Amino acid sequence: MDVLEFLRPHIKSLKAYSSARDEFSEVNTDLTFIDANENPFQTCVNRYPDPLQNKLKNEWSKYIDIPVDQIMFGNGSDEVLDLIFRAFCIPEKDNVVILPPTYGMYEVLAQLNNIEVKKAELDENFQPVIGSILKLVNKNTKLLFICSPNNPSSNNLKENLIKDLINSFKGIIVIDEAYIDFSSQQSFVSCIDKYPNVIVTQTFSKAFGLAGIRLGICYANPKIIDVFNKIKPPYNISELTQKKALEHHQNTDDVQKEIEKIIEQREILIKELKTITCIDRVFASDANFILARVDDANLRYKQLIDNGIVVRNRTTQPLCENCLRFTIGTKTENLKLISILKSF
């Protein structure tokens, strides 16, 4: 399969903007930069950042054991998702398939890019229904979005069902793994070599605790990465973001300990939530949050707000009537939540 056949025609011949830092290969560190119309006075950030984040990318490649040419960083995962739409979908012609309830930005980005959205709801166990999905597909269906672990339901989509979709869908499959670090399921990054039409997105916002720097990750076939590097803004990742990510990357042992603590607190919170009178059902979780069905989501949401606790009310989402979503907090935060819920 040649993944370039799915590109919008004009993207295939697009000539990327060439920034000042793209036009030479650094041969030593003793260079005088008078090429990019920057302020010459040192502020630590007076120079433009590396447009391809080579230092960060090389370090991350070693850590994740994925070749550099299969990695791209975005200004949050949302930039990566937007690039996918812009690369592959022709406005007012092509369509994409999403699996509600799911991450809301897929539909928002489709609307922004004037792309039709087709919806195949998950079943009552929040699993994809292969037949329903494939019935929606036509010659103009370019993208299929799979979120696993799923947001807002918090569960893994079954690996065999995802593989069935990969083998059946003749387009670009985007697997959003924002919460994969909290799951026992293996990442689908390993499938990229075998399936060139699979794109996997991840993020530094969740397990790595860097939501404030806005850094998303895209893993894909080198041909796709090359296209994304051409169409992305030249300096999409700031110098401060690159430095902070590199600094945090040195503390991967601490990150793993935090993941273990979050998972431990998740299991404790699930157990406690099941004892609360106003909660009818607590769904299994493979993420850093829990979905629970309560007796009256709007009422309980307001009561929690009145008591200084902010959660997400998901009652308007498909299959999520009267459901609240609880992010796993610190031990102290979780105890406060349980105490207040028990008082209702």
Domain ranges of the chain: 3-250, 253-342
How does residue 28 score in pLDDT terms, banded at 50, 70 and 90? low
CA distance 204 to 169: 29
* Higher local confidence (pLDDT), 226 or 26: 226
Checking if the pLDDT of 48 tops 70, the result is yes
First-to-last alpha carbon distance for the chain, in angstroms, is 57
Checking if the pLDDT of 210 tops 90, the result is yes
Determine if the peptide bond prior to 49 is cis (ω within 30°).
Answer: no
CA distance 279 to 48: 52
Output the pLDDT for position 84.
98
Checking if the pLDDT of 26 tops 90, the result is no
Mean pLDDT of 117-146: 98
Output the pLDDT for position 246.
95
Q: What is the mean pLDDT of the chain?
A: 95
Output the pLDDT for position 250.
87
Checking if the pLDDT of 278 tops 60, the result is yes
Output the pLDDT for position 123.
98
SS3 letters for the chain?
CCHHHHCCHHHHCCCCCCCHHHCCCCCCCCCCCCCCCCCCCCCCCCCCCCCCCHHHHHHHHHHHCCCHHHEEEECCHHHHHHHHHHHHCCCCCCEEEECCCCCCHHHHHHHHCCCEEEECCCCCCCCCCHHHHHHHCCCCEEEEEEECCCCCCCCCCCHHHHHHHHHHCCCEEEEECCCHHHCCCCCHHHHCCCCCCEEEEEECCCCCCCHHHCCEEEECCHHHHHHHHHHCCCCCCCHHHHHHHHHHHCCHHHHHHHHHHHHHHHHHHHHHHCCCCCEEEECCCCCCEEEEEECCHHHHHHHHHHCCCCCEECCCCCCCCCEEEEECCCHHHHHHHHHHHHCC
Mean pLDDT of 130-140: 98
Q: What is the CATH number of domain 253-342?
A: 3.90.1150.10
Contact criterion met (CB below 8 Å) for 129 and 123: yes
Q: What pLDDT digit, counting tens, does each position of 106-116 carry?
A: 999 999 999 99
Checking if the pLDDT of 335 tops 90, the result is yes
Q: What pLDDT digit, counting tens, does each position of 233-259 carry?
A: 999 999 999 999 999 988 889 999 999
Output the pLDDT for position 22.
72
Output the pLDDT for position 19.
80
Checking if the pLDDT of 32 tops 70, the result is yes
Output the pLDDT for position 249.
87
Lowest mean pLDDT among 33-42, 68-77, 89-98: 33-42
Output the pLDDT for position 29.
67
Checking if the pLDDT of 206 tops 90, the result is yes
Checking if the pLDDT of 27 tops 60, the result is no
Q: What is the CATH number of domain 3-250?
A: 3.40.640.10
